[in-house]
Chains A and B, each alone.
Chain A
Amino acid sequence: MKELTYAEAINEALDEEMARDDKVILMGEDVGLYGGVWRTSVGLQQKYGIKRVIDTPISENSFVGCAIGAAITGLRPIVEIMYIDFITLALDQIINQAAKLRYMFGGKVKVPIVIKTTAGAGKGNAAHHSQSLESLFCHIPGLKVVMPSTPSDAKGLLKSAIKEDNPVIFIEHKLLYPKKEILTEEVIPLGKAKIVRGGTDITLVATSNMLYKAMDAADILKKDFNISCEIIDPRTLSPIDFEMIIGSVKKTNNALIVHESNKKAGIGTYIASIVTENAFDWLDSPVNVIGGLDCPIPYSYVLEDAVIPSQDKIINKVKEILEKG
């Protein structure tokens, strides 16, 4: 039983998978000697050598493409993109190549690549270092998208992602790295959600750092308004565990989805549509979504706070849904 931070849990997953399989390699900017700006690869270059833990130039499209080429020819690369904002430079390789190669080649290749990266606002890094782009990747057939919120999930899901034979976008949240927990050491398959807290009045589906805001909101809703929230963390956003979410909604008859990615054309509206299609007769209210404001992330904390979903916004929305319902 050991207590690790989210960053340390990720580091341990990388370490264990690199020890298990010598075809697993890690490349990215500053991941080697320094151990990554998020400290998730500390010690790995020292342990596995510069052959397997590689500091790359600032050439995102090309080193991601290079990892894809290596993946279809026998290696199992993990690529770190320092901030998800810079993944946009590699979208040709990710969207046109990694996601489609197997299909285009009639199932003749496997693309076992993990692209690990960091999303989220809250540090005053402004529009180029704060985005939550998970919804973008959920839109693309051929990609799996993972977004862990706890150290145990981060470790368990990263290990599964590395063993997965398909491209996985593994999205960490920059505010979660210091979060500590005694690890459960569970194997967590991709595509399985988790009921974080049982409840009866409404289902809250919350991703990544929003899980904590949803839990805090649920505490206050219980204490001050006697509203019981069931909280689900999907953990994998694509493919998403609709069975668990729909099962919960059929029990609570109400649902609110909360994510940091901005709302427009986002994963939340997709979840809402599938829930509505499959559980319409059970619903007492429309399925609601709270996402980030449809706005680039601003710099000042006053403005940044206005863009990111807050605990108060969740509380008010839940009350509004249940009052109307």
Chain B
Amino acid sequence: MPIKSIRPDYRGEYKDGIEHFNGQQLLNICWEKHTMLGWPMCVPVPATLTFGQLIDNVLPGIYAIHPDFEKIDWDKVQWSTSKGPLIPNRNKSLREHELRHKAQIRFRTPELNGHNNGG
């Protein structure tokens, strides 16, 4: 049952279509185990952003506040999405990785599991 409504043909208006985001898409990013950060982050980015640019230009602005961030060895990072593990290519775009509007990408830094056990 997609909805219980008094009018059988009722459907709510979806507010978050990509056409409303001024040429960008939303990307959700979660650094696993780092609960001190509070939540998975949501940022607007172009679909043409490469994975290299994501790591070099976007992530520092979000995560440099965490003392583990500068210790990350990016070759050892384990990436995944809701569909399972993902092996990124630095030169390919979000679109080429099938990371579409509102997709979530997660990363795990196996030796870094939060500052001082505080997340």
- A, B co-complexed: no
Residues of A participating in the B interface, judged by any CB pair closer than 8 Å: none
